[in-house]
Amino acid sequence: MTNPQEEIEKGAKILQQHDQWLAQNLDQLIETYPGKIVAVLDGKIVAVGDTYKEVYAPFQNQNRDWMPLAVRVPYPDEIQELLI
């Protein structure tokens, strides 16, 4: 069994990786998938859909420690609102 502190550290590392990936790829996501929900795992887009349920469905029955990052990609005109 994993130590709770190790789990917290692992989760923090995964969240940091997600954050870095999103910061580096947000422009491309907006250009390619505006308005869609995108799931990212290990730095790769693994699902694209219209709802979170849709993109998470393939991962629901897998025995995973962590689910992929799923984010709604803003439309280009919405990005200004996010920067405020």
The tens digit of pLDDT for each residue in 10-69 reads 989 999 999 999 999 999 999 999 999 999 998 999 999 999 999 999 998 888 888 899
pTM: 0.81
Residue 82 has what pLDDT?
Answer: 56
CB 69 within 8 A of CB 41: yes
Question: Could you give the strand order of the β-sheet that contains 37-41, starting from the edge strand earlier in sequence?
Answer: 44-49, 37-41, 69-72
